[in-house]
């Protein structure tokens, strides 16, 4: 059977929900012409990038990663000014994810229905998409679609970081009637560290792992 979801064994302090929401609106992208916003899916707010952008509030900061999804020589891990101080637990989790080089890490706030889809693909052991459910998971809208049926993950209240399979199933989100914010991180993954973290997590959270 194929693992499509597992909580991730990284422990960190969960921030106050309203503080996250307020920070998001104060620091989000002010452009309105990026594809996720135009399609009514998400608003974005950068948390960390591999290069210090000239402007944290513009979509252009994403282009460094989206145009060069491979390692670059002058990369680092640059947090949005004030983020690490405001949310040390989230910053800790981002730092512990198994990436050799983080391309971008950012809050995404759902603004509409997210239809079933797969994200950009590349060869890596699945599940490979790392997400932190930042707002209250009791109101989760995120799910998988397999053979026309919805599969709902059980978000661990303490271990809010999870990984999901982007190849074997599509993922989607129903409409939400309250603010929903996730933290998504992508980049150049360290294969050995990634596989070790997955194995440890699947063993630890056997009761919450989803397989098809």
Give percent of the chain above pLDDT 90: 86
Q: What is the pLDDT along the chain (212 residues), one digit of tens a residue?
A: 999 999 999 999 999 999 999 999 999 999 999 989 999 999 999 999 999 999 999 998 888 888 878 888 888 999 999 999 999 999 999 999 999 999 999 999 999 999 998 887 777 788 999 999 999 999 999 999 999 999 999 999 999 999 999 999 999 999 999 999 999 999 999 999 999 999 999 999 999 999 99
Domain that holds residue 155: 3-211
Q: What is the pLDDT of residues 141-199, one digit of tens each?
A: 999 999 999 999 999 999 999 999 999 999 999 999 999 999 999 999 999 999 999 99
pTM: 0.95
Integer Cα distance of 78 and 47 in angstroms: 9
- The number of folded domains in the chain is 1
Q: What is the CATH number of the domain that holds 42?
A: 2.60.120
């Amino acid at each position: 059977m194929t693992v499509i979801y597992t909580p991730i064994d990284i422990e960190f302090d969960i921030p106050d929900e309203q503080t996250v929401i307020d920070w998001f609106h104060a620091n989000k992208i002010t452009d309105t012409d990026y594809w996720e916003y135009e399609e009514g899916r998400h608003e974005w707010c950068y948390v960390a990038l591999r290069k210090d952008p000239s402007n944290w509030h513009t979509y252009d900061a994403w282009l460094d990663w989206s145009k060069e999804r491979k390692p670059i020589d002058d990369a680092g891990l640059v947090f949005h000014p004030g983020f690490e101080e405001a949310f040390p637990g989230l910053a800790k989790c981002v730092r512990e994810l198994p990436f050799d080089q983080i391309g971008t890490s950012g809050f995404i706030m759902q603004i509409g229905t997210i239809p079933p889809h797969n994200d950009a693909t590349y060869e890596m052991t699945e599940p490979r998409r790392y997400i932190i459910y930042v707002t209250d998971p009791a109101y989760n809208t995120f799910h998988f679609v397999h053979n026309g049926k919805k599969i709902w993950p059980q978000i661990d209240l303490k271990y809010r970081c999870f990984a999901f399979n982007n190849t074997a199933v599509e993922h989607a989100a129903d409409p939400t009637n309250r603010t929903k914010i996730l933290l998504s991180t992508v980049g150049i993954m360290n294969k050995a560290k990634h596989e070790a973290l997955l194995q440890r997590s699947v063993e630890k959270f056997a009761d919450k792992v989803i397989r098809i």
